[in-house]
Chain A
Amino acid sequence: MIKLENISKKYGAHELFSNFSAEFEEHRVSCILGASGVGKTTLINIIAGLNKPDGGIVRFGSQEGELRGSYVFQEARLLPWLNVHDNLDLVLKNARKPLASEKADDLMRVKHGRGDEHFTKEERIELIRKQLRLVELEPYEFSMPSELSGGMVQRVALARAFAFPADILFLDEPFKEQDPKLKEELYESFFRAYKNDEAGRTVLFVTHDISEALRLADTIYVLAGTPAEIVGKFDRAEFSDELKNKIKELL
């Protein structure tokens, strides 16, 4: 369980969060749905540790502290002078291998029992090929990012995030800029990578798009108001067209 306790965050006079508490379950895709400017990105950045809250605590499992995450940003954020393979390899070189016995039931692996071993070169090559296959970019392993389309580079970013041995995967509207047809392809890539993921990763997904949330999420958390609150939580079993309208009203 990821627990946020009494989080507060201000930007100048603008109070984004005040005594905000929430819980997100592990090993599923949790979607934080909200209008632009409500503080979705700030919220996952606080969980990811990229943004410090003014007050409050983020706990992973029963502990407080740092975790290992991977992140798909709104932009692909690939190094333009490295090819696809080397872009993935860059983040894997320093990554610690998960222990063989490690089952994904304790999020606090960084502090106890995370293997000290790095991936070997062969393991990294295999891992990179596997992830590229899942996002259907295997033939482009040695292409430069500039040679790929916008949808393709975002798929590379997705492959990088899944290749990295993270406990939590953060996605901050990574498909925002794409057209509907491309979005569908990216969703497919996401599902394929997610289903093939042995760790059964915890995913925190931020979006303003209701259809996207209904398509991808196991659980939707609707974020609204100033300061922001979770105004609704819905599980996949409840998803329907009616729910869509209900969420629209909440937003």
Chain B
Amino acid sequence: MNDGLSRKTFALWARRILVVILWIAIWEAMYLLIGRDIYFPSPLSVVKTFFTLLAEKSSWTIIGMSAYRTLFAVFASALLGVLFGMMCGRSRVLYDFINPLMVILKSTPVVSVIIIAIIWFRSTDVPIFSGFLMCFPIVFTATVAGIRSADPKLLEMSSFYKVRSFDTLRFLYLPSAKPYINASVVSAIGICWKAVAAAEVLSMPRLSIGANLYFAKTSLDPALLFAWTAVIILLSFVFETIYAKVSGYDKT
């Protein structure tokens, strides 16, 4: 039984590694086909640049600052999204008041938000604001749906036994909404990284991944661009995984 299981895990990992190798091969083939480093970097040069980046101390400060902006934005949108979502999930009037704003926000291009934020804020705060505005409606909508998914039979029971409203919120509404909230925060983390990077490119805080993406473009260094992008992808993945682990949310 145990043996069969480990063989299965082995087969699964072998397949995964094979897929990765296959894609790197396709990448290399495309690189050879295009044949110009300035348009399309080779996998090897990207990997090299990536590790050169990580070896530099200043890169870590840059990563730290971007991570701080992203985390701040995610945290603020999660906190306020859950808070407003809980209120609007229970009050139809409040929901009808707030929801149009959310609908508009969800369809607003991220660059519009960034440009107005540049007018309003210091360059280092622009990404935080933009990330927040992109993620807040996601958490909000999910929380409202989660609150509304609370079992009416359990609600009837708790109102019949005159359970305190705070306890009803804490023990009935919140646990019902938890899977919705967790799923939305996980997707908000990914979206926030992208929004923050975009905002950094435009607002150019001195220490930011976005400014370095821009720098890679102006110095015509696609390997550097790819390497910084890889940093964002990795960080986004790491943060999502950590959140999923801590919250007990099953990403699959």
A residues in contact (CB < 8 Å) with B: 48, 50, 68-71, 73, 75, 77, 79, 81-82, 90-91, 93-95, 160, 164
B170 to chain A: closest residue by CB: A90
Q: Are B161 and A70 in contact (CB under 8 A)?
A: yes
Q: Tell me, in angstroms, the Cα distance from A126 to B156 when the chains sit together.
A: 26
Known interface pairs A79-B171, A79-B175, A82-B171; A95-B154 also in contact (CB < 8 Å): no
The smallest beta-carbon distance between B74 and chain A, in angstroms, is 25
CB distance from B161 to the nearest CB of A (A): 4
- Of the candidates B153, B167, B171, B172, which one forms a contact with A73 in the assembled complex, judged by CB atoms under 8 Å apart? B153
A244 vs chain B, min Cβ distance (A):
33
Looking at the assembled complex, report how far the CB atom of B10 sits from the nearest CB atom of chain A, in whole angstroms.
Answer: 33
Residue of A48, A81, A95, A164 with most partner-chain B CB within 10 A: A81
Give the docked Cα–Cα distance between A236 and B195 (Å).
74
Q: Give Cα A79 to B178, complex, Å.
A: 14
| B157 partner, pick from A77, A81, A82, A94, beta carbons under 8 A | A77
Contacts A81-B175, A82-B171, A90-B171: A75 and B163 contacting too (C-beta < 8 A)?
Answer: no
**Is B164 part of the contact surface with A, judged by Cβ < 8 Å?**
yes
| B162 and A94 contact, CB distance less than 8 A | yes
* Min CB–CB distance A166 → chain B (angstroms): 9
Are B154 and A77 in contact, with the CB atoms below 8 A? yes
Do A77 and B163 form a contact, CB below 8 Å, given A82-B171, A90-B171? Answer: no
Chain B CB within 10 A, most for which of A50, A71, A79, A81: A79
Among candidates B153, B160, B161, B162, residue contacting A75 with C-beta atoms closer than 8 Å: B153
Partner of B167, one of A48, A69, A75, A93: A93
Q: Are B175's CB and A95's CB within 8 A?
A: no
Query: With the chains together, A50 CA to B171 CA distance in Å?
Result: 22
Please indicate the chain B residues that have their CB under 8 angstroms from the CB of A81 in the complex: 171, 175
Closest to A157 in B: B157
B167 and A94 within 8 A (CB): yes
Are A69 and B175 in contact, with the CB atoms below 8 A?
no
| The 8 residue pairs across chains A and B that have the minimum distance between CB atoms | A91-B161, A77-B157, A94-B164, A81-B175, A71-B160, A77-B153, A77-B154, A94-B162
Q: Which of A50, A69, A91 contacts B156 (CB 8 A)?
A: A50
Closest to A86 in B: B171
Q: Shortest Cβ distance from B111 into chain A, in angstroms? A: 42
Closest Cβ of chain B to A82, distance in Å, is 6
| Highest count of chain B CB atoms <10 Å: which of A68, A70, A91 | A91
On whether the beta carbons of B163 and A50 are closer than 8 Å, the reply is no
Residues of B within 8 A of A73 (CB): 153, 157
| B160 partner residues in chain A, CB cutoff 8 A | 48, 50, 69-71
> How many Å lie between the Cα of A136 and that of B154 in the bound state?
24
- List, in ascending order, chain A residues with CB within 8 A of B171's CB: 79, 81-82, 90
In the complex, what residue of chain A is closest to B174 when comparing beta carbons?
Answer: A81
Write out, one digit per residue, whether chain B residues 141-167 have a CB within 8 A of any chain A CB (1) or not (0).
Answer: 000000000000110111011111001
Which B residues are in CB contact (< 8 Å) with A160?
Answer: 161
Min CB–CB distance A74 → chain B (angstroms): 9
Assess A164 versus B161: contact at CB under 8 Å? Given A79-B172, A90-B167. Answer: yes
Whether B157 pairs with A71 at a CB distance below 8 angstroms is yes
Least distance between B181 CB and chain A CB atoms (Å): 14
B236 CB to nearest chain A CB (Å): 30
CA distance A94 to B158 in the complex (A): 11
Mind listing 20 A-B residue pairs with CB under 8 Å? A48-B160, A50-B156, A50-B160, A70-B161, A71-B157, A73-B157, A77-B153, A77-B157, A79-B172, A81-B175, A82-B171, A90-B158, A90-B163, A91-B161, A91-B163, A93-B164, A93-B167, A94-B163, A94-B164, A95-B161
Residues in A neighbouring B172, C-beta threshold 8 A: 79
CB distance from A45 to the nearest CB of B (A): 10
Q: Which residue of B lies closest to A164 (CB)?
A: B161
Rounded to whole angstroms, the CA-CA distance of A90 and B164 in the bound complex is 9
Query: B87 → chain A, closest Cβ, in Å?
Result: 22
Distance of B166 from chain A, by nearest CB (Å): 10
